[in-house]
Amino acid sequence: MTAVLHRLRVPRHRSTTAHLCSAYPFLAEGGLGSAGAYLGTNVLTGGGGFAYDPFEAYRSGLVTNPNVLFAGEPGTGKSATAKCLIYRTCGVFGRWVAIADPKGEYLPLADALGLSVVKLHPGGSSRINPLDPGPAGAADGPDEIGRRQAALVAALLGSVLHRDLTPVEDAVLGWSTLHLARATVNADPPTLADLAAVMADPTDDMARRARTSAADLARSVDAALYGLGKLLDRSLRGMFDGPTNVGVDWSGPGLVLDLSAVHHEREALTLVMLATTAWLQALLARPDGPPRMQVLDEAWSLLAEERTSRYLQSCWKLGRSYGVANVAIVHRLSDLRSQADDGTATAKVSMGLLADTQTRVLFRQSSDQLDDARSLLGLTSTEALVLGRLCRGRALWKVGGHTAIVQHGIGRSERFCDTDARMAS
Ligand SMILES: Nc1ncnc2c1ncn2[C@@H]1O[C@H](COP(=O)(O)OP(=O)(O)OP(=O)(O)O)[C@@H](O)[C@H]1O
Ligand SMILES: [Mg+2]
């Protein structure tokens, strides 16, 4: 029998190298692999499937931290993609998720997934104590707990007072949290009300260290006490002023904190997001249990000021050591340039935050944001061009050094993604 060779014959084609390179097959992105939850199709691989999970990406060495940033204009599909990621990774991989939800739009997802919901509102019945040290924090010892509590309260007060604390305020705050942390070892954690009481009536030891009388020392922190009053007895009364009375079910898939009651008050929202983030961070930092995700929707409210951004960054740094992936959702990339006191944009804090966020999911940005996209995220000019033209539900994914353009798919049963119901009715 003679073998017949059927040679592939293609017509001769002549082209310039400039054009021919676009047809070179080996230039196509290889994709990120199949580990993780299926999210849609990668148009850079000719429509191949795209799967992602922050912990799988970390494990396989694609990224060196598990944090994720979603950015894009309103209505482009950031929350919908985050919800699908949560729904699928919690459902399939058993992740535990805690969501700070400023718009109250995660309640349908909570229903679908069986997440507990806590509604926090002024004068309401649910309360969280942002000074809770959490399960792992308690093991760190009182001095470290006191230091962390002082950092949180300094950020809260800075946000109320619109300035950094004076050296005296800073010292009294630090001595007070340390005093309370040492006094409450093996007892219930102190509350913001306890802190205000100590700052209003400093101990003799604090007065001695400040080389003044206790009464004069108390007078010099009047403004800080006024700032704490905002959380204790004025506009946010009842939300953060006592011991936590919210139970956490670790056997379930997670928790949604509904903050929609303060969504329309910008200054209040920043304080509430900060206090909530601190509480969640302490809650999630535990040595055991499933991998956890902390989702901050509308995170621009924390990034608007340098002080709050810096606090957020310090929380994120801790995340990796406790197996927590932080997910932040913002609108414009310029949100990442937090405002310094003189009103000038400073990229320093956001650069640190970005360095700790190696998965960036970029939805359409308006043309005035494209320069920021290039400089903050190191995009190529082609990527920046693509960013300005993405349609709803499609995003440029940068996962470590890998790039994908993903068209996200929403399943028929994933109705919890729909935030247009009111527009459509
Ligand atoms: N991939 C997609 N396919 C179909 N519809 C989508 C897709 N992504 C988002 N949508 C729809 O678009 C609408 C807006 O999406 P989403 O709420 O996620 O926007 P967003 O970017 O979070 O907006 P905002 O910044 O205002 O919060 C929703 O009703 C959602 O169901
Ligand atoms: Mg949204």
* Averaged confidence pLDDT in the chain: 87
From the list 145, 150, 367, the residue with the least C-alpha distance to 158 is 150
Q: Ligand 2 centroid vs 192 CA: distance in angstroms?
A: 31
Distance from residue 116's CA to the centre of ligand 1 (Å) = 23
Provide the number of structural domains found in the chain: 2
In this prediction, residue 1 carries a pLDDT of 47
Q: Name the residue of 101, 366, 419, 422 to mutate for ligand 1: max ligand atoms within 8 A of Cβ.
A: 419
Last residue of one domain, picked from the residues 175, 205, 231: 231
Residue 299 lies in a domain: yes
Domain's final residue, options 187, 211, 231: 231
Shared domain check, 377 and 271:
yes
Q: How far apart are CA 274 and CA 340, in angstroms?
A: 18
- 303 and 178 co-located in one domain: no
Q: Which ligand is nearest to the CA of 75?
A: 1
Considering only residues 101 and 374, tell me which one the structure prediction assigns the higher pLDDT. 101
Strand pairing class (402-408; 37-42)? antiparallel
Predicted local confidence at residue 345, as pLDDT: 52
CA dist 91 to 112, 186, 224, 293, 416, Å?
10, 37, 45, 13, 15
CB of 196 shorter than 6 A to ligand 1: no
**pLDDT for residue 336:** 74
In a domain, 270, yes or no: yes
pTM for this model (two decimals): 0.88
**What is residue 295's DSSP assignment?**
E
Q: Which of 230-239, 268-277, 350-359 has the lowest mean pLDDT?
A: 350-359
**pLDDT exceeds cutoff 70 at 297:** yes
Using DSSP bridges, classify how beta strands 359-362 and 68-71 pair: parallel, antiparallel or unpaired. Answer: parallel
pLDDT value of residue 24: 56
Q: Is 90 exceeded by the pLDDT of residue 61?
A: yes
* Beta carbon of 108 within 6 Å of any ligand 1 atom: no
pLDDT at 109 (0 to 100): 96
Looking at the structure, tell me whether residues 270 and 340 fall in a common domain: yes
* pLDDT (0 to 100) of residue 424: 54
In a domain, 56, yes or no: yes
Place of tokens 């009294």: 172
What is the number of the ligand closest to the CA of 300?
1
Structure token pair of residue 298:
């509308």
Does some domain include residue 153? Answer: yes
Q: From the CB of 78, is ligand 1 less than 6 Å away?
A: yes
What is the structure's pLDDT at 37?
A: 93
The 3-class secondary structure across 101-166, one letter per residue, is ECCCCCHHHHHHHCCEEEECCCCCCCCCCCCCCHHHHHHHCHHHHHHHHHHHHHHHHHHHHCCCCC
Residues 6+ apart with CB under 8 A from 388: 364, 365, 366, 367, 370
User: Is 331 in the same domain as 398?
Assistant: yes
Asked whether residue 407 carries a pLDDT value surpassing 90, the answer given is yes
Question: What value does the mean pLDDT take over residues 260-273?
Answer: 89
pLDDT band at 8 (very low <50, low <70, confident <90, very high): confident
Which pLDDT score is estimated for 395? 97
Domain assignment present for 236: no
User: What's the whole-number mean pLDDT along residues 41-50?
Assistant: 88
Q: Which CATH number belongs to the domain containing residue 37 in this structure?
A: 3.40.50.300
Domain endpoint, select from 209, 231, 253 = 231
What confidence score (pLDDT) does residue 423 get?
Answer: 56
Same domain, 103 and 189: no
For 327-359, letters b (16+ CB in 10 Å) and e give: bbbbbbbbbbbbeeeeeeeeeebbebbbebbbb
111 and 140 in a single domain? The answer is no
Atom of ligand 1 nearest to the CA of 80: 18
The CA 420 to ligand 1 mean position distance, Å, reads: 8
Q: How far apart are CA 52 and CA 40, in angstroms?
A: 10
Mean pLDDT of 231-252: 89
**Ligand 1, residues 50, 392, 397: which to mutate, most atoms within 8 A of Cβ?**
392
Mean predicted confidence (pLDDT) in 142-159: 92
pLDDT in tens, 329-347: 999 887 777 655 555 555 5
Using alpha carbons, list the distances in angstroms from residue 262 to 121, 239, 272, 405.
7, 11, 8, 35
348 and 200 belong to one structural domain: no
Residues 111 and 144 in one domain: no
Looking at the chain, the whole-number percentage of residues with pLDDT higher than 90 is 54
Which residue CA neighbors atom 27 of ligand 1 most closely? 74
Spacing, Cα 75 to ligand 2 middle (Å): 7
pLDDT above 90 (res 51): yes
CA–CA dist 369, 347 (Å, integer)? 14
Average pLDDT over residues 256-262: 93
Do 308 and 401 lie in a common domain?
Answer: yes
Q: How confident is the model at residue 406 (pLDDT cuts 50, 70, 90)?
A: very high
Task: Say if residues 164 and 307 touch (Cβ distance below 8 Å).
Answer: yes
Residue nearest to atom 10 of ligand 1 (CA): 77
Are residues 312 and 163 located together in one domain of the fold? Answer: no
By mean pLDDT, which of 17-21, 125-129, 190-194, 247-251 is the weakest?
A: 17-21
Inside any domain, residue 123: no
Tell me if 109 is assigned to some domain.
Answer: yes
Q: How far is CA 62 from the centre of its chain?
A: 20
76 lines ligand 1 (CB under 6 A): yes
Is the domain of 311 the same as that of 365? Answer: yes
Query: Cα separation of 389 and 409, whole Å?
Result: 19
Distance 418 CA to ligand 1 centre (A): 7
Distance CA 165, CA 173 (A): 9
pLDDT of residue 90: 92
- Beta bridge partners, 339, equal 305, 345
Distance CA 85, CA 379 (A): 24
Nearest ligand, CA of residue 74? Answer: 1
Q: Looking at the domain assignment, is residue 19 inside a domain?
A: no
Check whether 22 has a pLDDT greater than 70.
no
Note whether 105 and 157 are same-domain residues.
no
What domain range includes position 34?
A: 30-118+266-424
Q: Compute the residue count for the chain.
A: 425
Least confident of 105-109, 186-190, 219-223, 340-344: 340-344
